[in-house]
């Protein structure tokens, strides 16, 4: 706007010069005024250029800020989802801990009497009964003492809601070969099935328990001493994880 007014004034002065015959002093005064206006016009143009550069800088800054805000929003969403997952896992951990504590308290009398022990193996609660309580060496027929112990175990397991169990048979590394048990695989599996059937006979729902034999493949002690081999000859009852405690593999379904 200043530039337009200045140009208009220059035109007017030119017209004035053409229409009149000013004295030398008047001409010099007008020329000084013109020079002053030219100087102001140059300053205005310089300020305008500076303002345009500043405006461009601000526009660039706004674009950068918007990009950073979008990135921050995405990061916030990621952090919120991670926090939700962490809270869910914490809730599951607390629920598992409550079940573990409940089972431990209910088995306390049997633990104190030496009939069984409770361990946590790879995040799972394991109730372990020694072979000498349940079976004679090389056999899979429950002893009277074993039957009584398993009746107590069945009552506790049946009282734990919404949980499944696996009965696992284990042996030492000394091979067995008989008409009934050609190897430790058959012996460990048969013992697990016998215990499973007894538990279901005593009130544990059949759809909540399974049987498996591991032979000598998962020792808990070295097999080079009698004491170690005795520890390895055992029946374990494993508290199985619920589906919501397992990792979500649904994304792999289409691969």
Digitized pLDDT (tens) for each residue of the chain, 255 residues in all: 544 455 554 455 454 454 455 687 777 776 777 777 777 777 777 887 777 787 778 777 877 777 777 777 777 778 788 888 888 888 878 887 888 888 889 999 999 998 999 998 887 889 999 999 999 989 999 999 999 999 999 999 999 988 999 999 999 999 998 999 999 999 999 999 999 999 999 999 999 999 999 999 999 999 999 999 999 999 999 999 876 665 555 555 555
Coil, strand or helix at 33: helix
Burial degree of 98 (CB within 10 A; 0-12, 13-18, 19+): exposed
Q: How far apart are CA 237 and CA 190, in angstroms?
A: 15
Sign of CA dihedral 240, 244, 247, 249: positive
Helix (H, G, I), strand (E, B) or coil at 167: strand
Q: Could you tell me which of 1, 29, 2 has the C-alpha nearest to residue 16?
A: 29
Note the pLDDT of residue 227: 96
Asked if residues 212 and 166 have their Cβ atoms less than 8 Å apart, the reply is yes
CA–CA dist 50, 67 (Å, integer): 26
DSSP state of 161: T
Q: Which residues pair with 234 in a beta bridge?
A: 130, 170
Query: To which residue do tokens 């349940």 refer?
Result: 134
Q: Supply the pTM of this predicted model.
A: 0.64
pLDDT at 255: 52
pLDDT for the residue 247: 56
User: Environment class of residue 242 by beta-carbon count within 10 Å: exposed (0-12), middle (13-18) or buried (19+)?
Assistant: middle
Tokens describing residue 62: 């706004």
Q: Where are the beta strands (DSSP E) in 27-181?
A: 117-121, 124-130, 165-170
Contacts of 155 (CB under 8 A, 6+ apart): 202, 203
CA atoms of 73 and 95, how far apart (whole Å) = 33
pLDDT of residue 226: 95
């Amino acid at each position: 706007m200043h530039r337009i007014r200045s140009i208009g004034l220059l035109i007017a002065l030119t017209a004035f010069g053409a229409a009149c015959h000013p004295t030398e002093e008047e001409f010099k005064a007008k020329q000084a005024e013109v020079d002053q206006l030219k100087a102001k016009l140059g300053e205005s143009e310089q300020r305008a250029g500076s303002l345009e550069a500043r405006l461009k800088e601000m526009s660039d800054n706004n674009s950068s800020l918007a990009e950073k805000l979008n990135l921050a929003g995405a990061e916030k969403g990621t952090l919120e989802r991670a926090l939700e997952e962490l809270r869910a896992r914490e809730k599951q951990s607390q629920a598992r801990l409550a079940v573990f504590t409940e089972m431990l308290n209910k088995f306390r009398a049997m633990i104190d009497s030496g009939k069984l022990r409770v361990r946590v193996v790879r995040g799972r609660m394991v109730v372990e009964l020694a072979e000498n309580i349940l079976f004679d060496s090389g056999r899979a027929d429950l002893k009277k003492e074993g039957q009584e112990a398993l009746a107590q175990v069945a009552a506790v397991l049946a009282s734990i809601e919404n949980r499944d169990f696996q009965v696992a048979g284990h042996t030492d590394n000394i091979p067995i070969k008989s008409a009934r048990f050609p190897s430790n695989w058959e012996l460990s599996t048969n013992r697990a099935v016998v215990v499973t059937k007894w538990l279901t006979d005593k009130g544990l729902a059949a759809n909540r328990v399974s049987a498996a034999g591991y032979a000598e493949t998962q020792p808990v002690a070295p097999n080079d001493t009698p004491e170690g081999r005795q520890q390895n000859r055992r029946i374990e009852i494993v508290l199985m994880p619920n589906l919501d405690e397992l990792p979500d593999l649904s994304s792999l379904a289409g691969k």
